Chain A
Amino acid sequence: MSTTTLPAPLPKVETPFRRFVSEFCESPLAVGGLVVFAIIALVAIFAPWIAPQNPYDLAVLDIMDGRMEPGSVGGGGYTHWLGTDDQGRDMLSGIMYGLRISLLVGVGSAFIACLVGASLGLLAAYAGGRTDSVIMRVVDLQLSFPTILAALMILAFLGKGIFNVVIALVIVEWAYYARTVRGSALVERRREYIEAAICLALPTRRILFNHLLPNCLPPLIVVGTMQIARAIALEATLSFLGLGVPITEPSLGLLIANGYEYMLSGKYWISFYPGIALLITIVAINLMGDQMRDVLNPRLKK
């Protein structure tokens, strides 16, 4: 019926998302961080296709190529731009594959911890009373212990392995999300739209996840971004201590640990370059997180 009168195209509406993007782009540092992180993520995802060598394929490794300086040409006929480790692995390829593990563990654990923590935080804020105080006591307890210690404790029981590291990271991280979400959910819960939803007798699950959660997202995104960086650093630390990922799936931390003993004899590159990769990743994520915090913090709004 109404097909005859097409309305003129609407002017570009300023949605919250568009506003967020344009404000995020105000900081060149943050955009730089985003670009660098995107490149790192792409390198990690496509490592098997772009790395000069498969560092886990024992057939292509030659022990004669071991501990070669950066820039030297190995038996494979190509240049090892970042040198080789003691097994003759090309460090550049090792770093690309290591990034896969580091990012997988970091992003994966942050994501699971976010799910667990946000759900519990929402529940605490919504249910209040005893549920709230029990959950928040556990959160307080969790936060009063340094993360490294808690993770150490868990891994001492569970043993090495990617999966165990993820479990340990989730256990030490969920409390940050729970506290963040509870804080903003407590504010949102008193708003009228929640009252309206309750009056409509909507199911609790729907109120929690369709009404309350979306409005608690901004601080959650900020915490989530920062926690990814923390998780990557913590995983690297645990792997460096020999408690993290197994030797068959070396993350950046384990690569750095491998170079430790050669450091004293001046063969710096085995530890140095994976560390630089780790550093760039963490700083890029933190730069993005910093800007997001400024943009999403209503108190800083002009």
Chain B
Amino acid sequence: MLIYLLRRIMQSGFVLVAMSLLVFLGVYAVGDPIEILISPDADQIEKERAIQALGLDLPLWQQYLVFVGKALQGDLGRSFVFNEPAIQLILQRMPATLELAFGSMFLSILIGLPLGLYAGLRPNGAISKGIMAGSILGFSLPTFWVGLMLIMVFAVQLGWLPSTGRGDTAMLFGISWSFLTGDGLSHILLPAINLALFKISLVIRLTRAGVRETMLMDYVKFARAKGLSPFRVTFVHVFKNILIPVVTVVGLELGGTIAFSVVTESVFAWPGMGKLIIDSINVLDRPVIVAYLMMIVLMFIVINLLVDIVYTVLDPRVRLEAKA
């Protein structure tokens, strides 16, 4: 187990190095680094000085080492637009994104589980067929367009919910959160539903498949034969057993949710990391782009590592394979 873990961590480290090399090459070799790293408003003398300061006259491999060295110290450059360290900017926006991601995961369970349960218990009913057709739509509809439609219906036509921004926030642990105030909650609802759409469909399908499988198990048949009420059989015997895989899968979707929040945040003008990166790409604020990419790569590598570790803990087959 320990050896497997070490090997896995080593692999992650290797991936991180490879990705940093890619990002470095992307910024420094594909584009003109001077144009990328020095504000276009700088005059000639400033440019010369900046080239010296940034070490752009050094050979490429030395530049890479400098880049890595600075990155390790948490220095990925300063934003042209905000004139703040890029890392700091991203960290400031991170709570908004995390809040949205967790909100949508919560919603996907809240909406997906009951629907999936129903569809699993009555697989041939008309409503179940409707639910399943809806889940296909949830998979194939482009998120951004659904977001626009949500705004159109609930914000513009009905005027029930606000369409942009975070609303009022309250402080907790020195960070401001939207979900602690009523106004903030009303702001987060639409974007969270939008981001949850794909996961709701996923949860519906997983739950339905799980219910249909579990209903045929001997222990369920026995529970029914024993004369337990259908309610008790469903919610104690069946439900408990399907909950674990469903929650696991939704948890594993965290990374994808954070990545996809780029789209949702842009639609709903939600001031998170995703909105920041899109704005930065559009105004060519390259230090922020580099910092975001490095952060997100790091985040993904950590998430993937954790997922693998969780799998080894949960699934003995992986453990045995690693031993062999």
Q: Which residues in A have some Cβ–Cβ distance to B below 8 Å?
A: 141, 144-146, 148-149, 152-153, 155-158, 229, 233, 236-237, 240-243, 253, 256, 260, 263-266, 268, 271-272, 275, 278-279, 282-283, 286
Contacts and interface: CB of A to CB of B under 8 A. Distances in A.
Interface in B28-81: 30-31
Contact of B152 (A242, A253, A268): A268
Contacts of B282: 242
Chain B, interface SS category: helix
A271 B267 CA distance: 12
Given A263-B148, A271-B148, A241 B266 contact: yes
B142 A236 contact: yes
B145 A256 contact: yes
Contacts, number: 102
Contacts of A279: 140-142, 145
B15 interface: yes
Contact of A148 (B15, B140, B156, B259): B259
Contacts of A271: 145, 148, 152
Interface of B: 15, 23, 26-27, 30-31, 136-137, 139-145, 148-149, 151-152, 155-157, 163, 255-256, 259-260, 262-263, 266-267, 277-278, 281-282, 289, 293, 296, 300, 304
Given A241-B266, A242-B278, A286 B140 contact: yes
Contact of B260 (A144, A146, A153, A236): A146
Contacts of B267: 260
A152 B260 CA distance: 11
B259 A149 contact: yes
A263 B139 CA distance: 24
B30 A233 contact: no
The 3 A-B pairs with the shortest beta carbon distances in the complex, nearest first, are A146-B259, A157-B26, A275-B145
Contacts of B143: 237
Contact of A282 (B15, B142, B259, B293): B142
B69 to A, nearest CB: 22
A238 B49 CA distance: 37
A141 B15 contact: yes
A157 B27 contact: yes
Given A156-B289, A260-B148, A148 B262 contact: yes
